[in-house]
Amino acid sequence: MINPLFFLTDCYGGRGGIAQYNRNLIRALSLIKKTKKITIFQRKVIYKKEKIPNKVKLIRNINNSKFKFLIILIHYLFFGKKHDAVVCCHIHLLPFAWILSIKNRCPLILVIFGEEAWNPTKHKISNYLCKKIKYLISIRHYTAKKFLKWNKLNNLKYFYLPNCVDLLNYKNIVKNKKIISKYKLKNCKIIISCARLDREDKNKGVDEIIEVLDGLSKKIRNIKYIVIGDGNDKKRLELKAKLLDVEHMVIFLGNIEEKKKIEFYKLGNVMAMPGSRKTFDRYPYRFVNLEGLASGMHVLSSNLKYKSDLKDNNIKMFTQVNPNNKKEIIQKLNILLKKKNKISSNLKNFSFNSFRKKVQNFVLKNNLN
């Protein structure tokens, strides 16, 4: 892919794991010597944009406006530069990606993540155009299996590319004494959760930890629970902590910059995301879990459901729990909070360096360079 074109919802200045994955994918492609320029059509920008690689061109003045997106896309359709691959990072954007792939006579690559690809979408055109893709990239075997089943596709090339974490960002980070003093964290046992706090996305782990803090505090003293992330559900969670009389143990930080987030991670003992919602995606290698491991924390996650996850030897890095069983959550947190922090040797399989090599192999193997 010398001059690939990307269509995506979230990336630079975006929220959540999909935005982070897209940034990693684009960064990995930009590090391939033969790559000249990566052009991006991005739908949303919420936060201040991260540093954009030199080889990346972000189409401007289209974010957060469907009208501007369409107008500039139409202009680009007639006057845009030549591309040798079109990468679509959301099924709903397939019509735009397909048209540009036809114009450029180049392969169409679809990247899928989780629930959005498990069943047919509400958009019949996007569902139909899934049959036009040549390559499929998925962070998870289960997601790919579900997607291929409803599409009945068997003539495309599938590539497994799980999440990653840049281990270099976690090296030589010392404990920040100012943070310890400001938040009174000295001699505390610290549990951390990091997530978008949205009303439509409840019970991903924060509710579950708030509900067990009182019982856990009877077994372990000086517990602090740090919640990183913002959203329209934050006030409800703050009220819940108050009503359960555990607000003195909970610190809601809101959204914080990456460097500061890592400094908090380095103070933590357990990264806990035991989501109990029926539709909660229990993907074990979600970014917060990998980030927790990279910081030396132990990770508490919901019991895995699917064979493709359970067969993976790397899941031994996590401690699984029944998220609907408060006693079990307390029991496992009690054990983990007493253990020393350490970094699993399996984490190297999910380093950015490993991710970059996989992307390079995908490009070389399929003659896309």
How is 42-97 classified by DSSP, letter by letter? E----SPPPPPPTTEEE--S-TT-HHHHHHHHHHHHHHPPP-SEEEESSGGGHHHH
Q: Which residue has the higher pLDDT, 72 or 266?
A: 266
Domain extents in the chain: 4-164+351-365, 167-347
Instruction: Indicate the burial class of 158 (C-beta count within 10 angstroms; 0-12, 13-18, 19 or more).
Output: middle
Look at 15-24, 54-63, 200-209, 256-265 and tell me which has the smallest mean pLDDT: 54-63
Is 44's pLDDT higher than 90? no
Is 0.95 surpassed by the pTM of this model? Answer: no
Q: What phi and psi values does residue 300 have, to the nearest 5 degrees?
A: -110, 120
**Mean pLDDT value of segment 8-13:** 90
**Mean pLDDT value of segment 332-353:** 94
**Mean pLDDT value of segment 295-304:** 95
Q: Which residue has the higher pLDDT, 64 or 332?
A: 332
Task: Give whole-number Cα distances, 116 to 48, 52, 56, 143, 338, in Å.
Answer: 26, 27, 27, 9, 38
Segment 78-126, tens digit of pLDDT: 888 899 999 999 999 999 999 999 999 999 999 999 888 999 999 999 9
What is the reported pLDDT for 212?
97
Is 213's pLDDT higher than 80? yes
Domain 167-347 annotated CATH 3.40.50.920: no
Q: Report the CATH number of the 4-164+351-365 domain.
A: 3.40.50.2000
What is the reported pLDDT for 306?
84
Look at 25-29, 72-76, 186-190, 228-232 and tell me which has the smallest mean pLDDT: 72-76
**H-type helices in the chain, by residue range?**
16-30, 66-79, 94-104, 124-129, 141-151, 177-182, 206-217, 234-243, 258-265, 287-294, 307-310, 326-336, 352-365
Alpha carbons 242 and 249: distance in angstroms, whole number: 10
Let me know how many helices (H) and strands (E) the chain has, helices first: 13, 13
What is the reported pLDDT for 66?
83
Segment 227-255, tens digit of pLDDT: 999 999 999 999 999 999 999 999 999 98
